[in-house]
Amino acid sequence: GESVGLHLPTLSVQEGDNSIINCAYSNSASDYFIWYKQESGKGPQFIIDIRSNMDKRQGQRVTVLLNKTVKHLSLQIAATQPGDSAVYFCAENAAGGYNKLIFGAGTRLAVHP
């Protein structure tokens, strides 16, 4: 089902620490997942994606982990920087085709110097 957040949870981290943002998805048939970063007043920006036949995928300073057993997705950001401060959304590809992405509620990441 679709997820609508009434307010955004916030993760506060110190600059240089690692951040872990979690997401629970709803549809066990979803087979493609994406993490987006959204800065204030802008559209979402693609960070990293993963298909359901993988458990882990790494990018530059970011890692996505997928646990299909518990329908859980996480985004790990290494050596978090002030520029990482934003709202992060996970998105799942709805079953039945690749045309619809359903977004999670989002998490605000606040990086403190």
Partner 1 sequence: GAVVSQHPSWVICKSGTSVKIECRSLDFQATTMFWYRQFPKQSLMLMATSNEGSKATYEQGVEKDKFLINHASLTLSTLTVTSAHPEDSSFYICSVRTGGASPLHFGNGTRLTVT
* Contact residues: partner 1, CB under 8 A: 2-8, 31-32, 34, 36, 41-46, 49, 51, 89, 91, 93, 98-106
Between 7 and 60, name the residue whose CB sits nearer to partner 1.
7
Q: Closest Cα to residue 30, out of 89, 75, 96, 88?
A: 96
Nearest distance in Å: CB 86, partner 1: 13
Nearest distance in Å: CB 16, partner 1: 28
DSSP run (H or E) holding 48: strand 45-51
Q: What φ, ψ does residue 81 adopt, rounded to 5°?
A: -120, 160
Between 96 and 113, name the residue whose CB sits nearer to partner 1.
96
Decide: 64 and 4 in contact? Cβ < 8 Å. no
Q: What φ, ψ does residue 82 adopt, rounded to 5°?
A: -55, -35
Nearest distance in Å: CB 81, partner 1: 22
d(CA 23, CA 3): 11
Between 10 and 14, name the residue whose CB sits nearer to partner 1.
10
Nearest distance in Å: CB 31, partner 1: 8
Between 32 and 63, name the residue whose CB sits nearer to partner 1.
32
